[in-house]
A and B are shown apart, each in its own frame.
Chain A
């Protein structure tokens, strides 16, 4: 079985969020237009790809790391195992994990099961959405929108090798043996 996966160079991720916005622009995730709804300091909406800022240490020996995260299209997707209605599938051709919105009942079991925060509950549709690895672009012979836009040339995708799952993962990254995520890191 072929499997696409992400390669992320943590040295080259500059924390600019270009990938996050490219994803919103490409996949038309909510919100798309004013007015925003902000609750407890957070805008209501779904974001398939997000950039995390991770500060560590004490002044002046401080480190600040940026980690871009999305669905890792795991070899063993916890979301798929958790879905009670079989709405989540994994394509044999390339390993892309997809949610069938006609089947999704919005129970959020996948949200709780995923160690990476990838599935996102949409308050409007009452269903769960997540990164499709820009499957529509893959099928058209194009790269995912987040990859083509990356400012620091940190984010790429490749034909993944399972043995590399979670390689060089940053501190705090969930144990890759749980789901065998199709992502590897370098520094």
Chain B
């Protein structure tokens, strides 16, 4: 090195090696396109990094929304321009507990210790400064979808929209006029105004305006059924007798054996930032095992000790192979199963507590499987037996369940233990004259998944090696409370979604890992903030257009009352347990005017035609028929595939210019409620860097001054309709801040943090070190986990036959002991976890075996949902997506990486054409295409505003969208395959052909 000494010691200053560009925006009064001009300068490559500190640098802490993980962000704002987004170092999504700032740490420290943030979150800068954002209210010119727009004022927009709403649905009569006088059960005409927020964290204001002020039951037709709703529904059905929890996650940091089914922690599952960080720590500890079930070698499978590339749609079989193995040890009283047996025989909290358990199960609870003709009429086959079903001599409380103690039935709420497999039990009915025939939930599960089956049986279904599955099951059982199985979207967005998540969750039940350190967690929870933010609650009568959440008897009653109009099977499915709604059926309800027509559709952050499988054609034909949707208003920052057909587009601000109070997922074991707030823009005409005054009016001026906050748009529409109060008489807030201030004040009270701290630190966060209490998680479920779902056992299938619907669970009687579980499975829904093949909503198998490949989809770590194609930093890393195919399949078809290939399906024989990527990292017979690409709008082409063409970026249409070839339900003909129980759309059950294009 000595010969270079002189050169090495020659110092250059920063000024020498980075040519100055003149910096970013110099003044405070910067608005509109000036921002993009400045970014163009930076893009020329002269590479001036932004300054790190100074009087013209401000840091603001808030919450991301470039996906739904709700991580904290810290924006660096220089002269009013957002130049960089880092993570919020107080936020538990962004920082591990050993590095996260305590809440008392001064914010000035936070500014110099930026938190972690994923690529999507960092690219939020480009959401804000996207040059093709919608910057003014637009009114369509010509036909819907013509791409031609007139720029109008907000006043004109609100006035015209209100007038049209009044013409279609007279405001004065909206709560009294029936939609259909001949079927009054459908509800009132207010419900013909439908609000569909694809994605939002604004539930309070949505409820306040649409439900509690306007009065529509269709106030939240949201997206969860294209996300993972069957996961939520399955978990809720397993906790129905408890507190109905829809989401559990492993305590990854202390877990020792982790099996992931269709949950891609390092790319897609949320919050990816926290999940991937914790999984990385997990991997660093010797003796821990990660098993990943995924047909594709995902970034998560890349870290697995064992990758199990199961056949798509067979995750239930993988899980049940393991459950079978463990159940065998339980039944045989194996030494390795003793802890499981102890856990499973606890029928209530007191019994659990005696064994140092926080949770218990229904394993020993008795279920009615038959009854004699002399038994009471009200006893229902398929339900847990209640004390009220039984003779008084048993001494079981009327609403309490029963267990068998070896001699008699006793009260499950006080029994010290019950017997798991007592065989068939005959009890005396309440009237003392009849018999009630019972089995335990565990025994019913055994009959369903164990008897006559084997690990080999399940291994052949899922296409995996049975000895591998057995050894994984054995290892899982040995890790006990520190073994966790977790599943998400990949397992449940199938026609068999709910039974599959229940099969996976059985693994957690069999080791009893809930609430234990290293076990299955319900999360640290949140502080409340929303009291009063929705105004006075109004409960609209009737049913939703997506027919979700109707009572178990709603449709049967329609059939009974109006037999000429309604029958079994129904025209479209009805869902009692579509607990998060049904996004695809919502649109098909509008398209087919079933159960009633739409008059006004208002959307927000909605990408129906792009995001929902096989919906594009139905969407287009429906929105271009103005009789189906007489008024179509979209609230959006961007010109997406849906907005392109709207009558009016009302441009809201981005998530960096708005307020809300996002919560956490169960991955986070400490408590928090974060606070989203504007990073840029000005309040009450003050300077960009003025301190935020919570006592001010805080009229907001965003960076594009003709855009508005979502709340203010809703207040504008409500005001133009003449509303000053909600239906209950509570006054509407004067502006967005007046609404949000209530939440900040509430949060300050509930969290005991000051308003100033909440504003300064982007929320209220419990300090690190509070995740655990002794051997347990601090945040606990502490309630029952259920094998059996009586909800499903008694739910009438709206798509079933009239004969099935006519079967009665209360009048079915027998002279002798009879087990009616097969009737329940035939005529109702299978109340137990099980594997089932792909089927349509009328229960016909869908095989399509002439199409040789199974299509699966996945989400890239670089992208969120339907909007991130707008962000050059992300797209620049991977400008298009691929048809991912195994090398053996590709070889047989003479396909090489980057060849153009056509992928077609029974529902789209023309198919889509994209580039191949040949890999060893996918199961042969399976092809994978990611989401995010293949847009046909999103400013990939110009739009015309007042006759002038906008700029555009043709690279935004690169790649392919697999939704366009997804399988249409053959029994319906107009909608994708779906899980009839949970409402999940299917993303992974389509068979395809692949050929060189």
Contacts and interface: CB of A to CB of B under 8 A. Distances in A.
A24 B873 contact: yes
Contact of A153 (B281, B299, B307, B924): B281
Given A28-B50, A125-B44, A149-B87, A90 B280 contact: no
B617 interface: no
A158 to B, nearest CB: 16
Interface of A: 1, 9, 11-12, 14-18, 20-22, 24-38, 41-43, 45-47, 55, 57-60, 62-66, 75-76, 80, 86, 89-92, 98-102, 122, 124-125, 129, 132, 134-137, 139-142, 145, 148-154
Contacts of B886: 59
Contact of A32 (B11, B42, B955): B42
B614 to A, nearest CB: 28
Nearest to A56: B920
B651 interface: no
A36 B119 contact: no
B43 A32 contact: yes
A36 B872 CA distance: 6
B52 A137 contact: yes
Interface stretch (B110-118, B385-393, B842-850, B985-993): B110-118
B302 to A, nearest CB: 4
B49 A134 contact: yes
Contact of A12 (B12, B112, B280): B280
Contacts of B17: 98-102, 132
B84 interface: yes
Given A28-B42, A32-B42, A32-B43, A62 B921 contact: yes
Given A64-B299, A151-B276, A38 B873 contact: no
A90 B8 contact: yes
Contact of B122 (A18, A32, A80, A92): A18
B836 interface: no
B277 A152 contact: yes
Interface stretch (B124-132, B446-454, B763-771, B810-818): B124-132
B284 to A, nearest CB: 6
B39 interface: yes
Contacts of B52: 136-137, 140, 142
Contacts of A140: 52-53
Interface string B881-900: 00000111000000000100
Interface in B864-883: 870, 872-877, 879-880
B879 A33 contact: no
A135 B303 CA distance: 33
Given A20-B877, A59-B921, A136-B52, A25 B84 contact: yes
Nearest to A13: B280
B861 A32 contact: no
Contacts of A63: 302
A26 B880 contact: no
Contact of A55 (B8, B132, B921, B958): B921
Given A27-B49, A100-B17, A153-B281, 20 more contacts: A12-B281, A14-B299, A16-B119, A17-B861, A21-B123, A30-B45, A33-B42, A33-B872, A36-B955, A43-B877, A47-B877, A59-B888, A59-B923, A66-B302, A80-B4, A89-B11, A125-B44, A125-B45, A149-B114, A151-B116
A20 B1 CA distance: 32
A21 B874 CA distance: 7
Contacts of A45: 876
B11 A92 contact: yes
Q: Which 8 A-B pairs have the closest CB atoms?
A: A35-B953, A32-B43, A64-B302, A43-B876, A12-B280, A152-B280, A21-B119, A34-B953
B40 interface: yes
B267 A22 contact: no
Nearest to B299: A15
B18 interface: yes
A30 B119 contact: no
Interface in B472-523: none
B784 interface: no
Contact of A25 (B12, B85, B96, B302): B85
Contacts of A47: 876-877
A34 B112 contact: no
Contacts of A42: 879
Nearest to B308: A60
B736 interface: no
B25 to A, nearest CB: 14
B45 A129 contact: yes
Interface of B: 1, 4, 7-12, 14, 16-19, 36, 39-40, 42-50, 52-53, 84-87, 96, 112-119, 122-123, 125-126, 129-132, 266-267, 272-273, 276-277, 279-281, 283-284, 297, 299, 301-303, 307, 309, 861-862, 870, 872-877, 879-880, 886-888, 898, 915, 919-924, 939, 951-956, 958
A148 B116 contact: yes
B937 to A, nearest CB: 14
A80 B8 CA distance: 10
Contacts of B958: 38
5 contacts: A9-B284, A21-B123, A41-B879, A43-B955, A149-B117
Quick one: which of B115, B118, B954 has the most chain A CB within 10 A?
A: B118
B36 A35 contact: no
A59 B296 CA distance: 11
A37 B45 CA distance: 14
B873 A101 contact: no
A30 B875 contact: no
A12 to B, nearest CB: 4
B258 to A, nearest CB: 15
A9 B283 CA distance: 11
A102 B122 contact: no
A58 B920 contact: yes
A101 B119 contact: no
B119 A20 contact: yes
Contacts of A28: 42-43, 47-50
Contacts of A154: 280
B44 A21 contact: no
Most buried by B among A22, A99, A101: A22
A16 B920 contact: no
A12 B39 CA distance: 34
Contacts of A153: 96, 116, 277, 280-281
Nearest to A75: B1
A34 B872 CA distance: 6
Nearest to B113: A148
A87 B883 CA distance: 44
Given A28-B49, A59-B887, A15 B266 contact: yes
Contacts of B112: 141-142
B119 A59 contact: no
A24 B43 CA distance: 10
Given A59-B888, A153-B281, A34 B132 contact: yes
Contacts of B46: 101, 125
A14 B49 contact: no
A93 to B, nearest CB: 8
Contacts of A150: 116
Contacts of B44: 30, 124-125
Nearest to A44: B876
Given A11-B283, A24-B873, A17 B879 contact: no
A24 B126 CA distance: 12
B7 A80 contact: yes
Contacts of B12: 89, 91, 98, 100
A34 B280 contact: no
A95 B119 CA distance: 28
Contacts of A137: 49, 52
A34 B130 contact: yes
A89 B8 CA distance: 6
A107 B309 CA distance: 48
A129 B42 CA distance: 14
Contacts of A99: 17
B122 A14 contact: no
A18 B744 CA distance: 31
Nearest to A126: B45
